[in-house]
């Protein structure tokens, strides 16, 4: 009788009782190891705190599809005769109530929320001898494109109530909101038409912000897609982003509240992400000190308005870079750190230092002494006129130099200052000279000059009349100004809005108290 064939060796090994018991032992050990690992992780890992979310309070926009958004350019505002009423009845251009702050996850049908990550210190990449740490600012879950907020009459706050509860502005910045802004518009020469122009300008700027939060002088990256003419040629994205951000801050918007909260938040995040840490401080130049000065000014205003200490390390680093980039011989600044100065670049650094000082930060006194020395080098007519890099009597640089004299300690009654501003105010007003008029309006209002009512009325009406009203350019400006031509339509629009915001002291460095206190 034939014998049954033996099973293959592998079958005999697998089926052996000893091997089977090994399987069971191995499985038991794996299960025990997994259980112990889970217990250990729960014991030693603290629970992650939920993110702090800033929810936007525009419930009427919830669930609106981004592609279906319609930009309504009709700005509702009180009629012009409302300006003539008593203070309680003046035009109220207060921001809508601030957003509710809540710890919650965003809902699927809600507008995108912006998360301010609690300060997590991160070391910057620097040489071994330099250590820089700063808190992180990061808006979470940014949408593909920020919707332009619907503009509607704001609810008037109760008399005496703060405009933005929980976000008190430094006193030098308080006139940008609520009844204080309306009162300043009435008292200092604004009008319903100028405020409408401001709102249209802000809407145009918001529509031309890129997805990453920046603005570009060449208008790339925005929803314009070539629909607006006269793009600029400058390449510094910090300069373009900061100059476009300033008008929103001038109207009282911050990264924590205001109808353009999301626009401002994106812009600030973009700017601080562009800072280059160096041994001499935080560098925002991107090729030119213009970009650094305007960016530092924007951060100083954002800090003065919101009081958010997250901004302080960036702002202090930027101030230190201004100090170390100053030309120690001439006392001014130019395109690159250490270059012999020119009047226009120097003015932006002075404005940034002055705004930071009003916001409560210490500013380096040696730098201010250097500015005085630089102005002495480029002055003409015994201090009544100023040139670009040498003593000359050019109108634009004279307006800039005279305002810088006020920042650095000249009294409004000082003879060369009065003589210089009076000469500029007497010349025929050129509505295209946006850069010169931007500075001259501040100098005239700062001094409460006798020529201010006449000059302001003429300039205000001409500027409002020259705002574009057709197509995608509606709300913007482009003027025949050779001094600012490289900035294109973006720069002209920002400067025009800034000029029309002067009544409620767009930049706190232009207040009477700021001038009197100097640095």
Integer Cα distance of 282 and 287 in angstroms: 14
* Cα-to-chain-centroid distance, residue 517: 25
Residue 155 pLDDT > 50: no
Please give the residue that has the higher pLDDT: either 489 or 168.
Answer: 489
Residue 259 pLDDT > 80: yes
Residue 159 pLDDT > 50: no
- Nearest Cα to Cα of residue 92 among 166, 149, 158: 158
Q: Considering only the C-alpha atoms of the chain, give the largest distance between any 2 of them, rounded to a whole number of Å.
A: 134
Q: What is the mean pLDDT of residues 151-164?
A: 35
- Nearest Cα to Cα of residue 91 among 508, 459, 477, 503: 503
Range among 46-55, 95-104, 338-347 rated most confident: 338-347
**197 near 253, Cβ under 8 Å?**
no
Residue 79 pLDDT > 90: no
Task: Determine the pLDDT at residue 62.
Answer: 32
DSSP letter for each residue of 212-229? TS---TT-TTSTTTT-S-
Dig out the tokens for 22 from the structure: 């090994």
Which three-class secondary structure state does DSSP give residue 462?
helix
Integer Cα distance of 56 and 110 in angstroms: 9
Domain 122-152+183-517, CATH class in plain words: mainly alpha
Integer Cα distance of 98 and 257 in angstroms: 5
| Other CB atoms within 10 A of residue 196 CB | 18
Please give the residue that has the higher pLDDT: either 335 or 44.
Answer: 335
- Nearest Cα to Cα of residue 394 among 347, 344, 353: 344
In the numeric block, the tokens 């002209």 are attached to 492
Burial status of residue 129 (CB atoms within 10 A of its CB: 0-12, 13-18, 19 or more): exposed
**What is the dihedral sign for C-alpha 168, 350, 236, 361?**
negative
In the numeric block, the tokens 């919650």 are attached to 104
The string of pLDDT tens digits covering residues 373-396 is: 999 999 999 999 999 999 999 999
Averaged pLDDT score across all residues of the chain: 78
Q: Which of 24-33, 422-431, 439-448 has the lowest mean pLDDT?
A: 24-33
DSSP 342: B
| Rg of the chain over all Cα atoms, to the nearest angstrom | 29
Integer Cα distance of 438 and 419 in angstroms: 19
List strands edge to edge, sheet with 53-55: 100-102, 53-55, 114-115
Residue 112 pLDDT > 60: no
Integer Cα distance of 245 and 144 in angstroms: 19
Please give the residue that has the higher pLDDT: either 456 or 25.
Answer: 456
Task: Determine the pLDDT at residue 297.
Answer: 97
**What is the dihedral sign for C-alpha 396, 399, 402, 404?**
negative
For 172-280, where are the E strands, in sequence order?
276-278
**330 near 377, Cβ under 8 Å?**
yes
- Nearest Cα to Cα of residue 412 among 503, 511, 519: 511
Residue 368 pLDDT > 50: yes
The string of pLDDT tens digits covering residues 260-299 is: 999 999 999 999 999 999 999 999 999 999 999 999 999 9
The string of pLDDT tens digits covering residues 299-325 is: 999 999 999 999 999 999 999 999 999
Q: Which helix (H) or strand (E) holds 35?
A: helix 17-44
Pairing of strands 276-278, 133-134: unpaired
Between helix 237-250 and helix 289-306 the angle, nearest 10°, is 30
145: confidence class by pLDDT, cuts 50, 70, 90: very low
The string of pLDDT tens digits covering residues 466-504 is: 999 999 999 999 999 999 999 999 999 999 999 999 999
**What is the dihedral sign for C-alpha 414, 417, 420, 422?**
negative
> Where along the chain do its domains lie?
122-152+183-517
Please give the residue that has the higher pLDDT: either 378 or 85.
Answer: 378
Residue 48 pLDDT > 60: no
Share of the chain above pLDDT 90, in %: 59
| Other CB atoms within 10 A of residue 377 CB | 17
Task: Determine the pLDDT at residue 195.
Answer: 97
Task: Determine the pLDDT at residue 423.
Answer: 97
Share of the chain above pLDDT 70, in %: 68
Q: Which of 5-14, 178-187, 298-307, 370-379 has the lowest mean pLDDT?
A: 5-14
Q: Distance of CA 405 to CAs 177, 350, 411, Å?
A: 28, 10, 9
Residue 510 pLDDT > 60: no
Task: Determine the pLDDT at residue 403.
Answer: 96
**What is the dihedral sign for C-alpha 506, 91, 458, 188?**
negative
Task: Determine the pLDDT at residue 69.
Answer: 31
104: confidence class by pLDDT, cuts 50, 70, 90: very low
C-alpha atoms less than 13 angstroms from C-alpha of 190 in its C-beta half-sphere: 28
Integer Cα distance of 256 and 254 in angstroms: 5
Q: What is the mean pLDDT of residues 11-25?
A: 65
Residue 158 pLDDT > 70: no
* Cα-to-chain-centroid distance, residue 342: 24
170: confidence class by pLDDT, cuts 50, 70, 90: confident
Residue 219 pLDDT > 90: yes
| Other CB atoms within 10 A of residue 84 CB | 9
Task: Determine the pLDDT at residue 66.
Answer: 35
The strand pairing partners of 379, in sequence order, are 386
């Amino acid at each position: 009788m034939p014998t049954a064939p033996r099973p293959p060796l592998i079958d005999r090994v697998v089926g052996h009782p000893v091997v089977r018991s090994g399987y069971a032992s191995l499985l038991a050990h794996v299960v025990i190891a997994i259980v112990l690992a889970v217990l250990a992780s729960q014991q030693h890992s603290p629970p992650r705190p939920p993110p702090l979310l800033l929810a936007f309070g525009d419930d009427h926009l919830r669930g609106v599809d981004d592609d279906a958004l319609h930009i309504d350019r009709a700005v509702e505002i009180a009629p012009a005769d409302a300006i003539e009423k008593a203070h309680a009845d003046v035009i109220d251009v207060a921001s809508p109530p601030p957003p509710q702050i809540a710890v919650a996850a965003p809902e699927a049908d809600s507008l995108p929320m912006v998360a301010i990550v609690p300060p997590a210190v991160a070391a910057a990449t620097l040489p071994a001898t330099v250590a820089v740490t700063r808190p992180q600012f990061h808006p979470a879950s940014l949408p593909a494109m920020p919707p332009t907020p619907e503009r509607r009459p704001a609810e008037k706050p109760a008399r005496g109530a703060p405009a933005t509860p929980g976000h008190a502005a430094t006193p030098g910045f308080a006139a940008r909101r609520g009844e204080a802004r309306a009162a300043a518009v009435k008292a200092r020469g604004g009008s319903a038409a100028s405020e409408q122009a401001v709102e249209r300008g802000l809407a145009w700027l918001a529509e031309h912000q890129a997805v990453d939060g920046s603005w570009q002088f060449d208008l790339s990256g925005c929803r314009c897609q070539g629909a607006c003419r006269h793009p600029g040629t400058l390449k510094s994205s910090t300069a373009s982003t900061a100059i476009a951000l300033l008008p929103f801050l001038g109207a009282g918007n911050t990264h924590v509240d205001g109808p353009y909260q999301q626009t401002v938040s994106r812009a600030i995040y973009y700017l601080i992400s562009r800072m280059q840490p160096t041994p001499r401080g935080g560098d925002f130049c991107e090729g030119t000190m213009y970009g650094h000065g305007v960016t530092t000014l924007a951060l100083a205003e954002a800090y003065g308005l919101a009081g958010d200490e997250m901004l302080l390390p960036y702002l202090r680093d930027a101030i230190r870079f201004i100090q170390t980039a100053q030309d120690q011989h001439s006392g001014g600044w130019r395109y690159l750190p250490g270059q012999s100065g020119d009047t226009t670049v120097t003015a932006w650094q002075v404005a940034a230092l002055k705004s930071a000082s009003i916001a409560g930060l210490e500013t380096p006194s040696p730098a201010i002494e250097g500015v005085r020395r630089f102005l002495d080098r480029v002055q003409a007519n015994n201090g009544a006129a100023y040139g670009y890099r040498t003593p000359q009597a050019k109108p634009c640089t004279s307006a800039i130099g005279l305002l810088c004299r006020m920042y650095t300690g000249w009294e409004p009654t000082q003879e060369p200052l009065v003589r210089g501003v009076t000469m500029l105010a007497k010349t025929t007003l050129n509505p295209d000279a946006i850069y010169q008029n931007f500075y001259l309006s501040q100098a005239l209002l700062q001094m409460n000059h006798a020529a201010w009512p006449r000059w302001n009325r003429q300039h205000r009406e001409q500027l409002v009349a020259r705002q574009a009203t057709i197509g995608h350019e509606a709300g913007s400006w482009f003027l025949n100004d050779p001094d600012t031509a490289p900035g294109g339509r973006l720069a002209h629009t920002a400067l025009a809005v800034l000029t029309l915001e002067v009544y409620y002291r767009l930049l706190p460095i232009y207040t009477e108290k700021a001038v009197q206190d100097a640095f």
